[in-house]
Structure 1
Amino acid sequence: MKYEVTIGIPVFHAVKYISDTLCSALEQTFPSIEFLVLDDCGGDGSIDIVRRLQQEHPRGKDIRIVSQPCNMGIGKGRNRIIDEAQGDYLFYLDADDILPPTAIATLYEAAKKYDAQIIYGSNERVYDYEGEEQRVERDCYEFMSFSKADDFANYAYERYANIPANVWRYLIDIKVYRDNGLRFPDISFWEDFYMTMDLPTYVERAVMLPDITYRYFCRYGTLSNNQKRERIEKQEIVKIAAAIGELKTNSDRLKGRSYYLKRCFKVMMTEFYMVCYVLSHQQEIVPSFKNSELRQMMQSPLTFGELCGLNKWKLKNLALWLLGILPSNISVAAMKQLGKRKGLV
Structure 2
Amino acid sequence: MADRKKVSVIIPVYNVEKYLEKCLDSVERQTLPEIEIICVNDGSTDGSLQILQSYAEKDDRIIIINKENGGLSSARNAGLAVAEGEYVYFLDSDDWILAETLEVLYDECKKENLDTILFDADSIFETEEVERLHPSYRDYYHREDCFGNTVTGQRLFAEMMPREQYRSSACLQMNRRAFLEQYGLGFREGMIHEDELFTLQVSLRAERAKHLARPFYQRLVREESIMTSVRAIRSAFGYYVCNQLILAEATELVKEKDIMDIYVNKISRLRRSIKSALKDVKRGEIDRFTSNRLEDMALLEQFKYEQRLVISNRNLRKKIQELRASTTFKVGKTVTFIPRKLKSAYRVLKKKGIKELYKAILYKIAPGYYAKKYVEISIIMPVYNGEKYLWRCIRSLQKQMFRDIEIICVDDKSTDRSMELLQERARHDKRVRILQQEHLGAGSARNLGMKEARGKYLLFLDCDDLFDKNMCRELYRAAEKHDAQVVLFGAQRMDMMNNRTERMGWVLRSSELPKDAVFSGQEIADRLFQITSNCPWSKMFRRDFILENGLEFQSTRHCNDAYFVRMAMALAERMTMVDQIFTTYRFNMGASTQGVKHEAPLEFYKAFSAVKEALTEKGLFALYKKSFVNWTLTESLFNYRTMKTAEAKAAIKEKMLTEGFDYFGITECSPEDIYNPQLYEEYLEFRKG
Mean alpha-carbon deviation: is it higher for 283-292 or for 215-224? Answer: 283-292
Q: Once the 2 structures are TM-superposed, how far is the Cα of residue 121 of structure 1 from its aligned partner?
A: 1.5
Structure 1 distance, partners of 2:648, 2:622, is 41
Matching residue within 158, 179, 188 for 2:527 = 158
Aligned to 2:558: 189
Aligned to 1:242: 606
Q: Does the Cα contact within 8 Å between 1:40 and 1:71 map onto a contact in 2?
A: yes
Q: Does the Cα contact within 8 Å between 1:276 and 1:336 map onto a contact in 2?
A: no
Mean alpha-carbon deviation: is it higher for 192-201 or for 17-26? Answer: 192-201
Q: 1:120 to 1:241 in 2, by over 3 A?
A: same
1:257-311 deviations in Å (ceiling 9; x for gaps): 77332243245325xx33553365373536952854331222234599xx69x99
Aligned to 1:12: 384
Q: 1:265 to 1:36 in 2, by over 3 A?
A: same
Aligned to 1:49: 421
1:25-44 deviations in Å (ceiling 9; x for gaps): 01101011111000100121
Which TM-score applies when normalising by structure 1?
A: 0.78
Q: Once the 2 structures are TM-superposed, how far is the Cα of residue 192 of structure 1 from its aligned partner?
A: 1.6
Structure 2 distance, partners of 1:217, 1:125, is 6
Q: 1:311 to 1:217 in 2, by over 3 A?
A: closer
Q: Once the 2 structures are TM-superposed, how far is the Cα of residue 101 of structure 1 from its aligned partner?
A: 0.8
Q: 1:165 to 1:239 in 2, by over 3 A?
A: closer
| Bigger relative CO (Cα 8 Å, ≥ 6 apart) | 1
Q: How does 1:25-174 map to 2 (within 5 A)?
A: 25-56=397-428, 60-68=429-437, 70-129=438-497, 133-138=498-503, 139=505, 141=510, 145=516, 147=518, 151-155=520-524, 157-158=526-527, 160-174=529-543
Q: 1:134 corresponds to which letter in structure 2? A: N
Instruction: Describe the SS at the equivalent of 1:71.
Output: coil
Structure 1 distance, partners of 2:626, 2:552, is 23
Q: 1:27 corresponds to which letter in structure 2? A: K
Q: 1:204 to 1:283 in 2, by over 3 A?
A: same
Q: Once the 2 structures are TM-superposed, how far is the Cα of residue 225 of structure 1 from its aligned partner?
A: 3.8
Unaligned runs of 5+ in 2: 1-371
Aligned to 1:298: 661
Structure 2 distance, partners of 1:155, 1:265, is 15
Q: Does the Cα contact within 8 Å between 1:116 and 1:205 map onto a contact in 2?
A: yes
Q: Once the 2 structures are TM-superposed, how far is the Cα of residue 137 of structure 1 from its aligned partner?
A: 0.9
1:77-101 deviations in Å (ceiling 9; x for gaps): 1111111111111111200001111
Structure 2 distance, partners of 1:77, 1:157, is 32
- Structure with higher helix content: 2
Structure 2 distance, partners of 1:158, 1:290, is 26
Q: Does the Cα contact within 8 Å between 2:612 and 2:621 map onto a contact in 1?
A: no
Give 1 or 2 for the bigger CA radius of gyration: 2
Q: Does the Cα contact within 8 Å between 2:490 and 2:578 map onto a contact in 1?
A: yes
Instruction: Describe the SS at the equivalent of 2:466.
Output: coil
Matching residue within 608, 615, 640 for 1:251 = 615
Aligned to 2:576: 207
Q: 1:283 aligned to 2:645?
A: yes
Q: Once the 2 structures are TM-superposed, how far is the Cα of residue 135 of structure 1 from its aligned partner?
A: 1.0
Q: 1:269 aligned to 2:638?
A: no
Instruction: Describe the SS at the equivalent of 1:136.
Output: strand
1:50-107 deviations in Å (ceiling 9; x for gaps): 1111223xxx111110111x10111111111111111111111200001111110010
Which TM-score applies when normalising by structure 2?
A: 0.41
Q: 1:152 to 1:108 in 2, by over 3 A?
A: same
Matching residue within 257, 260, 273 for 2:624 = 260
Structure 2 distance, partners of 1:274, 1:258, is 20
1:150-190 deviations in Å (ceiling 9; x for gaps): x4344264175312211000111011221111111111221
Q: 1:248 corresponds to which letter in structure 2? A: K
Q: Does the Cα contact within 8 Å between 1:10 and 1:37 map onto a contact in 2?
A: yes
CA RMSD of aligned residues (A): 3.3
Aligned-residue identity in percent: 21
Aligned length, in residue pairs: 307
